[in-house]
Amino acid sequence: MKVSDYLQYDATGLADLMRRGEVAASEVTEAAIARAEAVNPTLNAICLPQYQEARNQGASDGPFSGVPMLLKDLGQEQAGQPCTMGSRGLRNRLMPEDSDYVVRARQAGLVFIGRTATPEFGLKAVTESQLWGPSRNPWNTGLTPGGSSGGSGAAVAAGVVPVAGANDGGGSIRIPAAYNGLVGLKPSRGRVSWGPFAGESWTGAADNHVVSRTVRDAAGMLDVLAGGAAGEPFRVAAPQRPWAELAGEAPGRLRIGVFTRSPYGGEVHPDHVAAVEATARQLEALGHHVEEATPQVDGDALARCYLGIYFGEVPVFMDMAKAEGAGNDDFELDTRLLAMLGRSFPLPDYVRMRQQWNEFARALGHYFGQYDLYLCPTTAQPPARIGELDLPPAMQVVSKLLVRARAGKLMLKTGIVDQLAMESLARTPFTQLANLTGTPAISLPLSWSDQDLPVGVQFGAPHGEEGRLLQLAAQLEEAVPWYSRYETLWNRGIGDN
Active-site amino acid positions: 72, 148, 172
Kindly state the DSSP code that residue 189 receives in the 8-state scheme: T
Angle formed at CA 123 by CA 118 and CA 126, multiple of 5 degrees: 55
Angle formed at CA 34 by CA 46 and CA 71, multiple of 5 degrees: 30
Give the separation between CA 195 and CA 200, rounded to whole angstroms: 8
Contact 318, 338 (CB under 8 A): no
Burial of residue 103, with CB atoms counted within 10 A of its CB: 0-12 exposed, 13-18 middle, 19 or more buried: middle
CA distances, 462 to each of 187, 343, 371, 456 (Å): 11, 34, 10, 20
Kindly state the DSSP code that residue 82 receives in the 8-state scheme: B
Which amino acid, residue 137?
A: N
The widest CA-to-CA distance across the chain, in whole angstroms, is 65
Give the separation between CA 210 and CA 162, rounded to whole angstroms: 10
Q: Is the dihedral of CA 264, 74, 138, 211 positive or negative?
A: negative
Closest among 197, 152, 204 to 175, alpha carbons compared: 152
Identify the three-state secondary structure at position 442: strand
Which residues, including other chains, have CB under 8 Å from residue 419's CB and lie 6 or more apart?
none
| Structural Rg of the chain based on CA atoms | 21
